């Protein structure tokens, strides 16, 4: 990763800019025309001078100069507006495209990269391209056009003096440019990474704030934050040492003041040598002094271009990641029957298998319970069903169709899941509950909340169902949060329902009530329940006992107790405790 | 200028120290004046050269060269210190201060969406500010200092031309202020909209499972789309509003140039202005148009830096919980809540809550979901301050204890486990970074984490992923228990610490906790009555206060709330989820 971060795939940028290409071409054309007019006032000043000295016609040039000034303002302004508007549309388009794409990647990618990487791509990289789209392209156009016009004009005046001028510019660039380029390549990648790392450390600092507070300044998160700041500072300093000095040197070397001194010195020599009539020095003073000016801008524009390309490359790399394959010949599941057929899966090639040959049939209208020690693979089984990951071996079918042959939209609409980890979005309670069915009516939302025994709690919030969760005053207790996610699943009204430790944080009273509601929900559906509190699943039609990724026992409660295996052991562990 | 100083003041207030920016301004101004000297030398030089007197030009050439060298040296010094000042004194310092400040804020500040916003602040906004003392100040100060110098010199040559140079200045300044005002009004909202994008993107990444399950990644998560479109609109709005004043500004500057052009020509033709002087002034006027237009742009960049500073300021001005640096030493590990009332907002959660947990005992806190159990632990850890009453540790009010002191006495296991993206070992060691390997292993055994470490491929080096997402629910919980055990603090608060554990692990961990309690004060919150029954005292929380207090036997015999609770649980135990 380290070095190819700085590598830019040439076509990446052009491809991404395609949707706004028309606007950009217009913007660049306007900038080119503007650059033409931009030279007029300078040339006019020189010609007015020459005319004053030689007694020629002065006013035409004076008027041209004044007019050119106004026209360049117009064209440059128009160019900037067009490019900025293009950028607004570009940023929006590419961000939504990227978000859609990321949502189709295997879930494991998020586990490996984390929200920091996503934030960097969607927020920062695209912001990096902003300079490119709105400034760099038009700046570069004028940086090519304006000096060209200037050089042609000066050559017409006196080619030797022009060469003396260009020679000086070339000499400065020859010294500085390689330094700039080297510095850039060496440091941009590391700088970008340091910045992403700090962003990530900040997210952790906030998300883990309770832990950070408890473990004080020694906490890993504070430490990592500190380290990230230090690294970024060092990177910045290194980058400055490599880039800042040459950039300053270039700024000084090509500054108008420096150019002026050089032109005056060489011009005086030329005049003294009799090579140049004094009046012909004026074009060089008026036009030549500013000749490298646009190049200074190209310098910074080139940086923006690189930064943009870097961002584009990163974004392009993400867009190039293969999403979970959509079926070539999509098929529709017949019903809610779920079959695991010798499913094998591990989260990483070198990790121990999380599922190791799991076979099971979950029939519609029945409840299948998954029990077993922590880490045995229960949640994993639940995750494979909606294709958060694909199995390494074996197959999972829904309604007789391999889940890989069902279009994701169809598949996801058929499975409702209550996750072990409660995740609520920073949206109104109402929107949180109807996440899976955005068109649900308020009455339906309330009915689901009542079934999940969380309606009263919601009504007590400052704005009831419109309270934004996580906002000031929009906090809920652990159990309340969990119940909101249950309401969400109830509302989704899908033929397959997966409940992963859905009542782990419920008190006895609400647990009983929720279970009742869930049983109602379960009627006619395929239900998969994962639970550690065995009494909640003792009535299941089928109990699968998982251990180290394998199903070691299966059957009904009574049968499993009689078999006196792992299930019986777990049951006893729980019930000897719960003797009253 | 006054606005700049205002900004520097803000920056320094946030940094709590001198920013070094004033020094930078002086250096850049000096460099600008020296550069002005170069340009001013053009007047006598042209007089000499255009009359063919190259010998008379030489002294002035020497003056120009001298000024150029002086300006170059000043600029070199100022620019290079500027980078370092920006990076070390401003960027590094601000980022660290934000980090330090944020961890001292009350938990109530950490509403949802903070993570993304803050990450943007530390990684992007701080970087915006970092560029001020080098690039931004340089360009803006010199864009002013150089022309002013030249104008002063011009006044000595010909007051009418001097007047022509400044005549548009008041207009330009007024329009400049207008640009600035519009940007202030429109850049803020744009920045806000971008912050919202960042937040939502982080949320999008962190809530992937839920969003996918709800089909949102397929059909689009409207909230994210809204944020993206909102940013685009704010951006386009800013452009629309700012382009007019900015265009007017450019036009005013260009018209100023046109005036000089026409007037210079007129005066020179009329013979009241010497031709070389007229030419020199025209050349200089043409030269300064561009920097002045750029100054308009720079004004915009100042605005952006200003908005960044304000955003940082908003965080830095949030009030931390008042802390003391020295306090009395608690007599022992007794935890006492005395007539405590507390609410997160309007609604009271605790109301006259009184509870005493003596050292060497286990107190179990039970009550319905949402009763306020977690809130009690938060008050003990002083994540929030009570509204009335007091929380005391060993007889000392927690508000009189330095934060570090208080935290060193507490070990917490939270209801929502949060792990930092690192290895299992790093996460456990967080509890006590200087613990020996043997101590770490012992803590792991107590929490039954040893089994997990043995099972996972990379053992202690297993990476846990963002927030711990690459471990199973129960594994994560055991890491956080091990962390708390390792901390070896006299007071242990366990909030649903075993909710995600299977029966066998729960028994083992509960036994370890009981062992822990022999010489500590333990407060457990549990919905599983098994954990509760063995406690030395059971507190039943209802309606914001302790409804009952006693041992398991006493409370059962009392036939009150707890007895009903117990019945309920037993009924729930007999109750089964079934699809019939
Ligand atoms: N995202 C992940 N990346 C890598 N490994 C994972 C990931 N999620 C789980 N694992 C590992 O896979 C194994 C099975 O995990 P799973 O979450 O399925 O367990 P579980 O049976 O649900 O346990 P629990 O009862 O604790 O929730 C565990 O060893 C776990 O560490
Ligand atoms: N951050 C918060 N902001 C606002 N209200 C909150 C916040 N956290 C909790 N609440 C409210 O305070 C009350 C008590 O919450 P608390 O988390 O203490 O309950 P609990 O007894 O721990 O419940 P559970 O068993 O469900 O975890 C609840 O009604 C909850 O809605
Ligand atoms: Mg699980
Ligand atoms: Mg709680």
* Helix (H) or strand (E) segment spanning residue B359: none
- A338-578 classified as CATH 1.10.260.40: no
What is the rounded (10 degree) CA torsion for B92, B95, B99, B105? 130
Please provide the average confidence, as pLDDT, over all residues in chain B. Answer: 85
Which residues, listed in sequence order, are joined to residue B353 by a DSSP beta bridge? B340
- What's the pLDDT score for residue A7? 60
For residue B253, what is the DSSP state?
H
Contact state of B369 with A198 under an 8 Å Cβ cutoff: no
Residue whose CA lies nearest to ligand 1 atom number 7 = B470
- What's the pLDDT score for residue B570? 66
For B157-181, write each residue's pLDDT tens digit.
788 878 877 877 788 888 888 887 8
| Phi and psi torsions of B342, nearest 5° | -160, 145
B372 pocket-lining for ligand 2 (C-beta < 6 Å): yes
- What's the pLDDT score for residue B234? 93
Whether the pLDDT of residue A296 is over 80: the answer is no
Q: Enter the tokens of residue B569.
A: 């649980």
Atom of ligand 2 nearest to the CA of A479: 26
Mean pLDDT of A145-162: 93
Q: B212 C-alpha vs ligand 1 centroid, how far in Å?
A: 19
What's the CA gap between B120 and A120, in Å, rounded? Answer: 10
Q: Are both A1-158+294-323 and A338-578 of the same fold?
A: no
Q: Enter the tokens of residue B207.
A: 């809530």
Q: Compare CB distances from B455 to A352, A413, A475 and report the shortest one's residue.
A: A352
Chain A residues closer than 8 Å to B246 by CB: 77
Query: In b/e form, how buried is each residue of A31-48, taking b as 16+ CB within 10 angstroms?
Result: bbbbbbbbbbbbbbbbbb
- What's the pLDDT score for residue A163? 94
Task: Select the more confidently predicted residue: A161 or B84.
Answer: A161
Q: B369 C-alpha vs ligand 2 centroid, how far in Å?
A: 8
What number is the ipTM of this complex?
0.84
What's the CA gap between B281 and B265, in Å, rounded? Answer: 11
Mean pLDDT of A174-188: 76
Residues of chain B above pLDDT 70, percent: 96
Instruction: Categorize the per-residue pLDDT at A473 as very low, low, confident or very high, splitting at 50, 70 and 90.
Output: low
**How close is the nearest chain A Cα to the Cα of B131, in Å?**
11
For A506-518, write each residue's pLDDT tens digit.
777 777 777 777 7
B321, B454, B579, best to mutate vs chain A, most A CBs in 10 Å: B579
SS (H, E, C) A485-517: HHHHHHHHCCCEEEEECCCCCCCHHHHHHHHHH
Superfamily of domain A1-158+294-323: ABC transporter type 1, transmembrane domain (1.20.1560.10)
CB within 8 Å of A53: residues ≥ 6 apart: A279, B50, B275
In chain B, whose CA is at the least distance from the CA of A372? B502
Separation of CA A216 from chain center: 31
CB within 8 Å of B548: residues ≥ 6 apart: B538, B539, B540, B555, B558, B560, B561, B562
What's the CA gap between B492 and B393, in Å, rounded? Answer: 12
Q: Where are the domains of chain A?
A: 1-158+294-323, 338-578
What's the CA gap between A554 and A544, in Å, rounded? Answer: 5
Contact state of B415 with A473 under an 8 Å Cβ cutoff: no
Whether the pLDDT of residue A303 is over 90: the answer is no
Mean pLDDT of B201-216: 83
- Are residues B398 and B570 in contact, defined by beta-carbon separation less than 8 angstroms? no
Mean pLDDT of A224-239: 87
Instruction: Categorize the per-residue pLDDT at A579 as very low, low, confident or very high, splitting at 50, 70 and 90.
Output: very low
Contact state of A114 with B465 under an 8 Å Cβ cutoff: yes
Rg for chain B, CA atoms, rounded: 35
0.95 cut: is pTM over it?
A: no
Chain B residues closer than 8 Å to A45 by CB: 261, 279, 282-283, 286
CB within 8 Å of A387: residues ≥ 6 apart: A324, A403, A404, A408, A411
Task: Select the more confidently predicted residue: A519 or B82.
Answer: B82
Contact state of B565 with A213 under an 8 Å Cβ cutoff: no
- Give the ligand whose atoms come closest to the C-alpha of residue B419: 1
Instruction: Categorize the per-residue pLDDT at A580 as very low, low, confident or very high, splitting at 50, 70 and 90.
Output: very low
What's the CA gap between B205 and A146, in Å, rounded? Answer: 46
Contact state of B57 with A268 under an 8 Å Cβ cutoff: yes
B149, B262, B572, best to mutate vs chain A, most A CBs in 10 Å: B572
Contact state of A88 with B235 under an 8 Å Cβ cutoff: yes
Q: B116 C-alpha vs ligand 3 centroid, how far in Å?
A: 28
Compute how many other C-beta atoms are within 10 angstroms of the C-beta atom of residue B64: 24
Whether the pLDDT of residue B5 is over 60: the answer is no
**How close is the nearest chain A Cα to the Cα of B316, in Å?**
15
Contact state of A574 with B96 under an 8 Å Cβ cutoff: no
Residues of chain A above pLDDT 90, percent: 33
Q: Between A and B, how many CB-CB pairs are < 8 A? A: 582
- Lowest-confidence region among A291-305, A390-404, B274-288, B427-441: A291-305
Whether the pLDDT of residue A84 is over 80: the answer is yes
Whether the pLDDT of residue B339 is over 90: the answer is yes
- Lowest-confidence region among A30-44, A211-225, A319-333, A558-572: A211-225
Contact state of A511 with B367 under an 8 Å Cβ cutoff: no
Chain A residues closer than 8 Å to B118 by CB: 202-203, 205-206
Q: B347 C-alpha vs ligand 2 centroid, how far in Å?
A: 11
- What's the pLDDT score for residue A44? 93
C-alpha distances (whole Å) from A491 to each of A412, A502, B378 are 14, 15, 33
Contact state of B255 with A202 under an 8 Å Cβ cutoff: no
Give the residue from A333, A435, A119, A329 showing the smallest Cα distance to B120. Answer: A119
Chain A residues closer than 8 Å to B409 by CB: none
Please provide the average confidence, as pLDDT, over all residues in chain A. Answer: 85
- What's the pLDDT score for residue A219? 54
Mean pLDDT of B452-478: 87
Atom of ligand 1 nearest to the CA of A381: 18
CB within 8 Å of A443: residues ≥ 6 apart: none
Whether the pLDDT of residue A4 is over 50: the answer is no
Whether the pLDDT of residue A372 is over 70: the answer is yes
Q: Enter the tokens of residue A301.
A: 């524009």
E-strand ranges in B258-409 read 335-342, 350-357, 362-366, 388-393, 396-397
What's the CA gap between A1 and A536, in Å, rounded? Answer: 48
**How close is the nearest chain B Cα to the Cα of A9, in Å?**
25
CB within 8 Å of B456: residues ≥ 6 apart: A351, A352, B424, B462
Atom of ligand 2 nearest to the CA of B376: 18
- What's the pLDDT score for residue B406? 86
Instruction: Categorize the per-residue pLDDT at A264 as very low, low, confident or very high, splitting at 50, 70 and 90.
Output: very high
Compute how many other C-beta atoms are within 10 angstroms of the C-beta atom of residue B342: 23
Residues with CB under 6 A from ligand 1: A 111, 347, 351, 354, 374-380, 420; B 456, 469-475, 500
Chain B residues closer than 8 Å to A422 by CB: 416
Compute how many other C-beta atoms are within 10 angstroms of the C-beta atom of residue B255: 17
Mean pLDDT of B448-456: 88
Chain A residues closer than 8 Å to B566 by CB: 580
Q: Enter the tokens of residue B473.
A: 């629910």
Residue whose CA lies nearest to ligand 1 atom number 24 = A374
What's the CA gap between B562 and B547, in Å, rounded? Answer: 9
Chain B residues closer than 8 Å to A427 by CB: 223
Q: A375 C-alpha vs ligand 1 centroid, how far in Å?
A: 5
- What's the pLDDT score for residue A537? 84
Under DSSP, is residue B207 helix (H, G, I), strand (E, B) or coil? coil
Separation of CA A188 from chain center: 19
Instruction: Categorize the per-residue pLDDT at A577 as very low, low, confident or very high, splitting at 50, 70 and 90.
Output: low
Mean pLDDT of A320-342: 87
Contact state of B469 with A111 under an 8 Å Cβ cutoff: yes
Whether the pLDDT of residue A214 is over 90: the answer is no
Q: A391 C-alpha vs ligand 3 centroid, how far in Å?
A: 17
Instruction: Categorize the per-residue pLDDT at B214 as very low, low, confident or very high, splitting at 50, 70 and 90.
Output: confident
Q: B369 C-alpha vs ligand 4 centroid, how far in Å?
A: 7
């Amino acid at each position: 990763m380290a070095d190819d971060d700085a590598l830019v795939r040439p076509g990446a940028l052009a491809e991404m800019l395609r949707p706004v290409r028309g606007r950009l071409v217009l913007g660049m054309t306007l900038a080119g025309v503007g650059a033409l007019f931009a030279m007029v006032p300078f040339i006019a000043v020189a010609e007015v001078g020459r005319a004053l000295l030689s007694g020629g016609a002065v006013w035409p040039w004076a008027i041209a100069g004044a007019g050119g000034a106004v026209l360049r303002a117009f064209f440059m302004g128009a160019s900037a507006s067009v490019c900025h508007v293009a950028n607004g549309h570009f940023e929006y388009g590419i961000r939504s495209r990227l978000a859609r794409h990321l949502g189709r990647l295997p879930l494991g990618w998020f586990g490996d990269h984390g929200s920091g990487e996503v934030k960097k791509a969607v927020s920062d990289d695209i912001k990096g391209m902003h300079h490119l789209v709105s400034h760099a392209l038009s700046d570069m156009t004028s940086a090519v056009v304006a000096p060209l016009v200037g050089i042609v004009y000066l050559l017409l005046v006196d080619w030797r003096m022009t060469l003396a001028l260009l020679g000086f510019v070339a000499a400065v660039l020859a010294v500085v440019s390689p330094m700039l380029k080297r510095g850039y390549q060496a440091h941009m990648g590391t700088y970008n990474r340091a910045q992403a790392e700090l962003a990530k450390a900040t997210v952790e600092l906030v998300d883990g704030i309770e832990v950070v507070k408890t473990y004080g300044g020694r906490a890993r998160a504070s430490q990592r934050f500190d380290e990230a700041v230090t690294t970024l500072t060092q990177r910045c300093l290194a980058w400055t040492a490599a880039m800042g000095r040459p950039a300053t040197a270039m700024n000084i070397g090509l500054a108008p003041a420096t150019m002026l001194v050089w032109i005056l010195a060489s011009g005086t020599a030329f005049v003294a040598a009799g090579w140049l009539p004094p009046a012909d020095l004026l074009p060089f003073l008026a036009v030549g002094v500013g000749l490298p000016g646009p190049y200074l801008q190209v310098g910074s524009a080139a940086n923006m271009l690189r930064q943009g390309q870097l961002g584009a490359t990163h974004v392009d790399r993400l867009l190039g990641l293969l999403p979970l394959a959509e079926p070539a010949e999509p098929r529709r599941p017949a019903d809610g029957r779920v079959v695991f057929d010798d499913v094998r899966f591990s989260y990483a090639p070198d990790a121990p298998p999380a599922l190791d040959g799991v076979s099971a049939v979950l029939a519609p209208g029945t409840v299948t319970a998954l029990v077993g020690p922590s880490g045995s693979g229960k949640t994993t089984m639940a995750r494979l069903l909606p294709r958060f990951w694909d199995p390494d071996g074996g197959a999972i079918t829904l309604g007789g169709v391999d889940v890989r042959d069902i279009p994701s939209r169809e598949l996801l609409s058929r499975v409702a899941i209550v996750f072990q980890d409660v995740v609520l979005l920073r949206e109104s309670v109402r929107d949180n509950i109807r996440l899976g069915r955005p068109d649900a009516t308020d009455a339906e939302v309330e009915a689901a909340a009542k079934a999940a025994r969380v309606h009263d709690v919601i009504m007590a919030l400052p704005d009831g169902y419109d309270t934004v969760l996580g906002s000031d005053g929009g906090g809920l207790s652990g159990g309340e949060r969990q119940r909101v996610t249950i309401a969400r699943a109830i509302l989704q009204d899908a033929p397959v329902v997966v409940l992963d430790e859905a009542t782990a944080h419920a008190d006895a009273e609400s647990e009983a009530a929720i279970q009742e509601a869930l049983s109602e929900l379960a009627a006619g559906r395929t239900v998969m329940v994962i639970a550690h509190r065995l009494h909640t699943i003792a009535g299941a039609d089928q109990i699968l006992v998982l251990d180290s990724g394998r199903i070691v026992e299966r059957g009904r409660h009574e049968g499993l107790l009689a078999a006196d295996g792992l299930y019986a052991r777990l049951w006893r562990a729980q019930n000897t405790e719960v003797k009253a | 200028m006054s606005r700049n100083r205002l900004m520097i003041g803000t920056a320094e207030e946030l940094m709590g120290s001198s920013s070094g920016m004033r020094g930078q301004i002086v250096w850049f101004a000096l460099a600008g004046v020296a550069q002005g000297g170069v340009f001013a030398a053009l007047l006598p030089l042209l007089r000499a050269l255009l009359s063919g007197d190259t010998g008379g030009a030489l002294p002035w050439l020497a003056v120009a060269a001298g000024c150029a060298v002086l300006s170059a040296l000043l600029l070199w010094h100022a620019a290079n210190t500027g980078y370092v000042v920006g990076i070390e004194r401003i960027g590094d310092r601000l980022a660290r201060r934000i980090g330090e400040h944020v961890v001292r804020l009350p938990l109530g500040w950490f509403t949802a969406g903070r993570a993304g916003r803050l990450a943007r602040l530390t990684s992007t906004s701080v970087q915006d500010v970092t560029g001020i003392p080098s690039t931004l100040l340089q360009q803006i100060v010199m864009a002013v200092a150089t022309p002013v110098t030249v104008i002063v010199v011009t006044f000595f040559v010909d007051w009418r031309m001097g007047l022509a140079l400044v005549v548009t200045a008041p207009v330009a300044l007024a329009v400049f202020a207008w640009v600035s005002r519009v940007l202030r009004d429109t850049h803020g909202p744009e920045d806000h909209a971008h912050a919202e994008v960042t937040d939502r993107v982080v949320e999008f990444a962190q809530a992937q499972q839920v969003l996918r399950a709800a089909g949102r990644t397929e059909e689009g998560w409207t909230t994210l789309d809204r944020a993206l479109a909102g940013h685009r609109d704010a951006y386009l709005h800013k452009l629309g509003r700012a382009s007019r004043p900015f265009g007017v500004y450019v036009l005013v500057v260009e018209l100023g140039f046109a005036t000089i052009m026409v007037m210079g020509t007129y005066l020179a033709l009329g013979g009241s202005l010497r031709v070389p002087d007229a030419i020199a002034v025209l050349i200089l006027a043409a030269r300064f148009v561009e920097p002045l237009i750029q100054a308009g742009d720079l004004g915009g960049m100042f605005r952006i830096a200003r908005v960044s500073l304000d955003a940082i300021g908003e965080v830095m001005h949030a009030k931390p919980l008042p802390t003391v640096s020295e306090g009395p030493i608690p007599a022992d590990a007794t935890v006492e809540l005395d007539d405590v009332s507390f609410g997160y907002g309007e609604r009271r959660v605790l109301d006259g809550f009184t509870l005493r947990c003596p050292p060497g005992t286990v107190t179990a806190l039970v009550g319905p979901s949402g009763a306020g159990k977690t809130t009690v632990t938060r008050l003990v850890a002083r994540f929030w301050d009570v509204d009335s009453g007091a929380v005391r540790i060993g007889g000392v009010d927690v508000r009189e204890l330095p934060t570090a002191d208080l935290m060193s006495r507490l070990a917490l296991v939270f209801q929502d486990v949060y792990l930092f993206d690192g290895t299992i070992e790093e996460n456990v060691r967080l509890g006590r970074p200087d613990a020996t390997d043997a101590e770490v292993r012992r803590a792991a055994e107590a929490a039954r984490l040893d089994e997990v470490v043995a099972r996972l491929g990379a053992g202690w080096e297993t990476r846990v992923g963002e927030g711990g997402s690459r471990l199973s629910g129960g594994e994560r919980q055991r890491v956080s228990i091990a962390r708390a055990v390792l901390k070896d603090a006299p007071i242990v608060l366990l909030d649903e610490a075993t909710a995600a554990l299977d029966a066998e692990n729960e028994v083992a961990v509960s036994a370890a906790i009981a062992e822990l309690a022999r010489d500590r004060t333990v407060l457990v919150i549990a919905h599983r009555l098994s954990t509760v029954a063995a406690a030395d005292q059971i507190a039943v929380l209802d309606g914001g206060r302790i409804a009952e207090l006693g041992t398991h036997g006493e409370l059962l015999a009392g036939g009150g709330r707890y007895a009903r609770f117990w019945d309920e649980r037993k009924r729930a135990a007999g109750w089964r989820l079934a699809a019939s």
